Chains A and B, each alone.
Chain A
Amino acid sequence: MAVQGLTVVAALAVAALALVAVDANPVTVYSEMFLGAFSDPLQASRVFNRSAPLILAGLAVYIPLRSGLYNIGAEGQLIVGGLVTVWVGTRLPEAMGVGAEGAVVFLAALGVAVLAGVAWVYVPVYLYNKYEVNEILTTLMLVFTAERVSAYLISGPLQAGGGGFPRTGSIAFDLPTLFGTRIDVGIVFALLAVAGTWLVINRTRLGYEVVLSGSNEGVAEQTGIGTKKITFFVFTFAAALAGLAGFIEVAGNQSSLTIGWQPGYGWTAIPIALLGRRGAVQTMLAGFMFGFIFVGASTVETTLGVPAAISQMIEALIILFLISGEVLKTHRLDLVLGRWSLRESVGKLARVGRAGGN
C-alpha cells in the first residue's frame, strides 16, 4: 500500500501546481474535496452514490487484470448497461400496462443491464479465444461504438418529446435509499460485488487458476488450466459488473439521459484497478478515493470556481506516477555514462577482497 499511497500523494502534489496556476489555494481545495464529505451529509451521500459505480467499474478492470488481460472497454459495457436500463425503465411499464410494480421494472432493468454488459464483451472474448485478436483494441473500439450507439438511441428511438436538445424519458423507478438517508442501494451492490470477487479470486479453485494464468500462462497451460475458459469467465464476470455499474449510475444518479451522459467511470476504472491490483478490497478503497475526488471536484467547482477537470488531472497523474513508480520498484536502477555503469562499478567494489568465486 505504501507505493500506492505515495503515488496518490505525488499526484496530488503535482495537481496542486495546476491549482496554484489558476490562483486557487491547494490546501483549501483539497480539504474541501476530501474533508467536506465528513461535515456535510449531502456530500457524504454523494460520495457513496458515486463510489458505487466506480467500484463496480474498477472491479470490471481488476478481474481480467488478475488473469493478465486488459478490459479497456469497461466504459462501453457500462454505457450499454445504462442504455438498456433506460429502455426497460421507460418502456416496460407501458408494455405491461399502467400500474406495473416498481420492483418488477427494477429487477427487469437490473437483469437486462447485466446481460447487456456481458453481451457487449462477447465479441472481444469470441475473437480472442478463436483468433487471438488483441482484446485491448477490440474492447477499446467497442467503447466508441457504444458511445455512438448511445448518441443514436438518445437522439432517435429513445428520445422523448421533441426539441433540439434530445433527452430520454425518465425511468419508472428510483434506487431505494438506505435508512432514511440519501445513500442509495448501489453501494450495497458494490460491496457485495467486492466480497464476491474476493471470495472467488482468493478462495476458489477457479480464482486460483485465474491468478496462475495471470502470473505464468505457460505453467497454467501445462497444469491443464484451460486459458480459454479463464478468459471467458473473467470477461463475463467483469462485464456483468460493468453493466451493473451502468444500471446503478442511471437508476441512482441520472434517471434520464442526454447525449454525452456517460461519466467516464470506465476510464477511471483503469487507475482504480491499477491502484488496487493486489486485491478486491484495495480496488474498493481506490474506488472510494475516486468517489471523493469526483464529488469533491464538482463541489469545488461551484464553491471555489476551480474547474472540475482537476479530478481528471489527478486521475491521469496517478496513472503516470503509478507506472513510473512500479517500474522503479521492479527494475534495478543504474546510472550509465558511456561505458561506465554505476551498478557495475559498485558490484566490482563489492567483489574486491572476496577470494575466488565467480
Chain B
Amino acid sequence: MGDVVLVAGLTESFVTGLIGATVTASTPLILAALGEVVAERAGMLNLGVEGIMLLSALFSFMVALTTGSLFLGFLTGVVVGIIAGLLHAFLTVSLKADQVISGIMITLLGAAVTAFVGDDWASRSIDGLEKTYFPVIGEPLSAVPLVGEALFYSTPTAFLAVLLVPVVWYGLFRTNLGQEIIAVGEDPEAADTVGVPVFRIRYGVTVFGSAMAGLAGAHLILAWINQWSTGMTSGLGWVAIALVIVSRWRPFYALGVAFIFSSLNALQIRVQGLELGDGLVGGLLLDPAFISIYPYVATIVVLAWVSRNELDERLGRPEALASPYTREE
C-alpha cells in the first residue's frame, strides 16, 4: 500500500501513527487525572500518584503473571490504590498531617518498594489485554481515516477511561454528592455547618483518586507496556498532577489536555527521525528532550493565571486545596 502524502512531508502513516500513539499514551493519564480531579475538588492534593502507579503496576503484574488472570491483575492494581489512598487519607484527614509531605512520602515509598522487590520480575513479560473493537459501532467507525482505528480499536480500559470522563463530569457538577465534594473543597467549615460530612467525603475522594491511579498503573503494564522495569512510570504520575492543574480541575478539559500532553510524548519519539533543521524552533523547541518540558511549564503558567484571577470562580481552583480541616469544638 502506497503511503499518501497529506501536506509537505507529512505522510498519512506518520499522522495515523502519531494519533494512535497519542491515544494509547493518554489512557493512564486520563485515568489518574480523573481521580485526582475529584480528590482535589474536595481539597485533597495527592502527590503520591506516581508512587501508587508504580506499586499498582508491579503488583498487578505479579498477580497477573502468577495467576494467569488479567482480571485479578487489574483488581490488585485497584486494591493497591485503595490501600495507599486510605493511608494518605488517614494521615492527612484524621491525623491532619501535611498533604504535600504525605503524598511525597507515598511516592518515595512506592519507588523504594518497587525498586526493592521488582528486580526479579524485570526479565518477564505478559500477554496483555488485547485490543478489541468498541462494542457495536466500533468496527465500521474504525474505517474512518486517520482517527478511526486509534479511537475505536483499542483496549477495554482505554474505552473505559474515555467513558468515565462524562460520568465524572456528571457526578461532580450534576449530583448532590458532587456539589458536596466541591463545597468541601471550597470552604470545609461552611460545608460542615450545613451538614456535609466533610471527613467522610475527604476520605472517599482520596480513596477514589488513589484507586484510579491504581487502575492507571495496572493499565500501564497490563494493557500497554507488558513488561516491568524499575521506575517504569517515568514521571507519568507527576504529569497527571500537572494535567489536573492545567485542565483547571475539569474532567472534559482533562481529556483534552491529556491528548495534548500525550501527543507531545508521541511527537518526542517521532521527531527524532525528522529533519527539522537548526535554529530556535527546529533545534531547541522541537528537540525530543526539550518537548517533555512543556507540561510542567504549562502548569506553572496556569497556576499563575488562576492565582492572579483568584476571585474568578469559573477558573475552578478549590479554595481549600491542600489545607487540613479541623472542626472547631
- Chain A residues engaging chain B, CB cutoff 8 angstroms: 18, 21-22, 70, 72, 123, 127, 131-134, 136-138, 140-142, 144-145, 147-149, 151-152, 155-156, 267, 270, 274, 307, 309-310, 312-313, 315-317, 319-320, 323-324, 326-328, 331
Contacts and interface: CB of A to CB of B under 8 A. Distances in A.
Nearest to B306: A133
Contacts of A326: 97
Nearest to A21: B117
A134 B304 CA distance: 9
Given A70-B100, A156-B289, A309-B111, 8 more contacts: A18-B113, A133-B304, A141-B242, A142-B300, A148-B293, A267-B104, A310-B116, A312-B115
A69 to B, nearest CB: 11
Contact of A152 (B47, B104, B238, B290): B290
Interface string B74-117: 00000000000000000100011110111011101101110111
Given A72-B104, A152-B289, A267-B108, A323 B97 contact: yes
B265 interface: no
Contacts, number: 122
**Main DSSP-derived SS at the A contact region:** helix
Nearest to B106: A316
A327 B112 contact: no
Name the residue among A72, A149, A319 with the largest chain B CB count within 10 angstroms: A319
B105 A323 contact: yes
Contact of B108 (A140, A151, A312): A312
Interface of B: 47, 91, 95-98, 100-102, 104-106, 108-109, 111-113, 115-117, 119, 235, 238, 242, 245, 287, 289-290, 292-293, 296-297, 299-300, 303-304, 307-308, 310, 321-322
A313 B116 contact: yes
B290 A313 contact: no
Contacts of A137: 245, 299, 303
Contacts of B321: 134
Contact of B101 (A22, A155, A270, A310): A270
Contacts of A147: 235
Among B91, B100, B102, chain A packs the most CB atoms within 10 A around the CB of B100
Contacts of A274: 101
Contacts of A149: 293
Nearest to A147: B235
Given A133-B304, A313-B116, A141 B96 contact: no
Contact of B300 (A123, A152, A324): A123
Nearest to B109: A316
Nearest to B293: A148
B293 A145 contact: yes
Given A312-B112, A323-B98, A134 B104 contact: no
Nearest to B321: A134
- Among B102, B303, B308: residue with most chain A CB under 10 A: B303
Contact of B307 (A132, A156, A267, A317): A132
Contact of A324 (B97, B100, B303): B97
Contacts of B91: 320, 323-324, 327
Most chain-B Cβ atoms within 10 A of its Cβ — which of A147, A316, A317?
A: A316
Nearest to A139: B300
A312 B97 CA distance: 21
Given A309-B112, A313-B116, A316-B105, A327 B97 contact: yes
B116 A18 contact: yes
B296 A313 contact: no
A147 B245 CA distance: 20
A323 B98 CA distance: 8
Nearest to B47: A140
